[in-house]
Chains A and B, each alone.
Chain A
Amino acid sequence: MTVVSNARGAAVLLAAALALSACGGSGGSGGSGGGDQGPKRFSVALTEPDHLTPGNTSSSYSITVLQAVFDTLVVIGPDGSPQMRAAESVTSQDQKTWTIKIKPGQKFHNGEEVTAQSFADAWNAAAYGPNAWTNNYYFANVEGYDKLNPEAEGATPGTDKLSGLKVVDPATLEVTLTAPFSQFPITLAYTGFAPMPKAAFTDLKAYDQKPIGNGPFALDGEWQHNRQIALKRFDGYAGPRPAKADGVLFRIYASRDTAYTDLRAGKVDLLQTIPPASAPEAKRLLGDRFVPTASGTMDYLGFPVFDKRFQSADLRKAVSMAIDRQAIVDAVFNGAFKPMGSLVAPLVPGYREGACGEACTYDPAKAKALYDKSGGFSGTLNLYFSNADPSYEQWMTAVANQLKQNLGIADIRFRKIPASDYLSTLREKKEDGPYRNNWVMDYPSPQNYLESMWGAGNRMGWENKEFTDLIAQANAAPSMEASIPLYQRAEDVALAEMPMIPLWNWQDQAGYSSNVTGVRIDAYSPNLDTISVK
């Protein structure tokens, strides 16, 4: 009797074990496939993207993949200027109506011809409100956008085509904007403006899992969520940057630290963002294969100017002068970030190193004098930041200590907000103290920084007619070169009023394995097409 029941007990356990391993089996084998034999492909560490439809993602992880799969009309050269890629030329007489000539002979991965219509189709889909694509807003300055996104609740648009897009012939697309915009060519480098083939629109859901592009690499099978995305060289590619390697395997990691460990173990060949804490070690271990890359990302300290306690520009400047940016960068970011005295990042054309001058230079004595002159600050100073990364609290603590020491503000408290709630807090203007403001560059133009953060409806509640007029003039300038001095004057206005203090510019730290050569990462793209496998 006991023997039988013992055996039964074991059988129950065994059956449970078998059932579990059986149902897990399919999941396990799905993850493999990154074999080293056969075609020469390399692997790149990635975080799970949100979408792979160009018009529906602004995630930097998606963009890394899309930059290999799509050729945009324009790309940004190492000096930050636009260079033609899928386009032959992008020209305009009045900066309002733009003519885009498309290079002939380009093909999508399914063999379909890349024409003006491919761009028009993709842009119409992105601008069409009911599609609810993330990059919808990028088309807001194209004529006819309002009709695709009616204000009234419950209204359906009467049309799904932007009236500002005109396909003149297969090689010519004419774009009419609502207002002159001199920076238009450079915005076309954003993957949100990539073309889509006709085949995409028969099943957009399937397309998101396996996008068909016009770039040097094509998807090799579907996107395997949270595991990998495989690419293979597109043999029908006729563009200027054919792929050197046979393929790319994006390995998806949930944690950057794990990705870094795998880089060290030789399991992944390229990691674009080494965790800052591991940077000194990576520098030592990787030597030449450790690549610091300039980035357009900036941190700022914004003021709720709508709150009357922060209405004095002198007070805001005093705070700026009381912050020792270099000390914080050294202590919190291992010296990798660059203290900033400008509102735009160094890689942006028109950047001036000392634009801010004295107001962004650490000088406790002058800061205190200015602070006293402004009437000072009474009550509790609340500092706002999100809990998305522990480094935010570290540098905010340093800022608080410096303000205490240098200005004598005694009562400083931290308001650490859950990441999911942080942006809504700022959007609804619920903050009553200085807050962390971060900006990830979309395209290297001063306009991208200035108009987005200081322009109409900004978070600070700051209003200045001179500033908005200068931005409008710059946008209407006859060329990109002619626009720069005007943007710089606008920047001077914003710096003189200082509703938001520039702090520092980020730097990315990439690393690669000894398995690959030809790695040429820049601020705009990892340039995966140039990499070859040893």
Chain B
Amino acid sequence: MRYAAQRLLQAVPVFVATTFLIYAMVWALPGDPILALAGDKPLPESVVRTLRAHYHLDEPLIVQYGLYMAGVFLRGDLGETFTGQPVAELLQDRWGVTAQLALTAWVFELVVGVGLGVLAGLRRGRLADTLVLAGTTFVIAVPVFVVGYTAQIVLGLNLGLFPTAGTDEGWPVSYLLPGMVLGSFGLAYVARLTRTSVVENLRADYVRTATAKGLRRSRVVGRHTLRNSLIPVVTYLGVDFGNLMAGAVVTEGIFNLPGIGQQVFQSIQLQEGPVVVGVTTLLVMIFIVANLLVDLLYGVLDPRIRRG
């Protein structure tokens, strides 16, 4: 318990530093976000001035950041986009989409990745192992947008197995294909990690002992080998949940899922500081919580790590 509280306290300086860094980076982007709003058309000085003042863009960086933070903590106001939409409303709208997508991808990584890894590990050197190794190498080598567009055209459009894009069908149907695409890279990694770990542990003394004791193979594998093999995999999966949320930009674009990845991409282009900071802070919090969960899970999997 104290351990968990400590970890949460550590998050405070991380939070402050991240938000400031992100704010400063958006601020440092070249170009003038207000002038860019009108595109090629002229924007009168009076309009430009009003907009600058409204978004505090006429203030120095530190004042802008201060005003933003004051808004967040004193009024619970996360700011607004250049089109006047409150950032809080926007995050509320979009966060669910990304969370559902990341979760789908994550479950896919977990189930299929660990499954393939165990299969390959137990049948080391045989056909199944070779296939898994070759397949995962292939997936790691191909960029995600190639996988994405190909899957969309072949599985979605030509074969009609999945919806091509959008969230009309809701969870899980609309999220299956994008989830598999997003999770494909992590899946390959998880499968290889699990395989290596299983192979190593199968040679460990305690497994030989367990076998020598005459335990059934299923028990030796399920109880002793797997449990120990999963520790590095859990670490990876924990951290990867954050990665999946952050890495959804491309997948959300291809499958037209209105999540936070799409939003942050657009907002960086428009230089909407409050949106970028809001989204990124949320992601940082998810990373912190995911890491915390991983550390707690360690204790469950490995009693040696659990503290007194």
Contacts and interface: CB of A to CB of B under 8 A. Distances in A.
Interface residues of A, number: 66
Contacts of B37: 50, 134
Main DSSP-derived SS at the B contact region: helix
A424 interface: yes
Contacts of A17: 103, 107
Nearest to B173: A28
A209 B47 CA distance: 22
Chain B interface extent, by class: 35 or more
A218 B149 CA distance: 36
B236 interface: no
Contacts of A27: 93-97, 100, 167
Interface string B31-58: 1110111111111111101110010000
Interface string A1-28: 0000110110010001100110111111
A51 B301 contact: no
A420 B85 contact: no
Interface string B219-259: 00000000000000000000000000000000011111010
Contacts of B266: 254
A31 B167 contact: yes
Interface stretch (A85-93, A145-153, A167-175, A488-496): A145-153
Contacts of A525: none
Contacts of B38: 58, 134
A225 to B, nearest CB: 6
Given A21-B171, A27-B94, A424-B35, A136 B252 contact: no
B44 A262 contact: no
A29 B36 CA distance: 34
B297 interface: yes
A227 interface: yes
A335 interface: no
Interface stretch (A125-133, A181-189, A342-350, A516-524): A125-133
B99 A262 contact: no
> Which one of A6, A23, A225, A264 has the greatest number of beta carbons of chain B within 10 Å?
A225
A225 B93 contact: yes
Contacts of B300: 5-6, 8-9
A29 B107 CA distance: 22
B201 to A, nearest CB: 17
A137 B42 contact: yes
B270 interface: yes
Given A150-B46, A261-B152, A265-B164, A20 B262 contact: no
Nearest to A438: B40
A440 interface: yes
A455 B35 CA distance: 20
A225 B164 contact: no
B45 A151 contact: yes
Given A149-B45, A422-B31, 12 more contacts: A16-B293, A20-B100, A27-B95, A31-B170, A136-B47, A137-B47, A251-B166, A264-B157, A419-B36, A420-B32, A420-B269, A440-B39
20 contacts: A9-B301, A12-B293, A17-B107, A21-B100, A27-B97, A28-B174, A34-B168, A137-B44, A153-B49, A254-B262, A258-B253, A261-B156, A261-B164, A262-B256, A418-B30, A420-B30, A420-B31, A420-B270, A420-B271, A423-B40
- Closest 5 pairs between A and B when the two form their complex, measured CB to CB: A27-B96, A24-B96, A421-B31, A129-B46, A420-B31
Interface of A: 5-6, 8-9, 12, 16-17, 20-21, 23-32, 34, 50-51, 58, 129-134, 136-137, 140, 149-151, 153, 205, 208, 225-227, 251-255, 257-259, 261-262, 264-265, 267, 418-424, 427, 438-440, 442
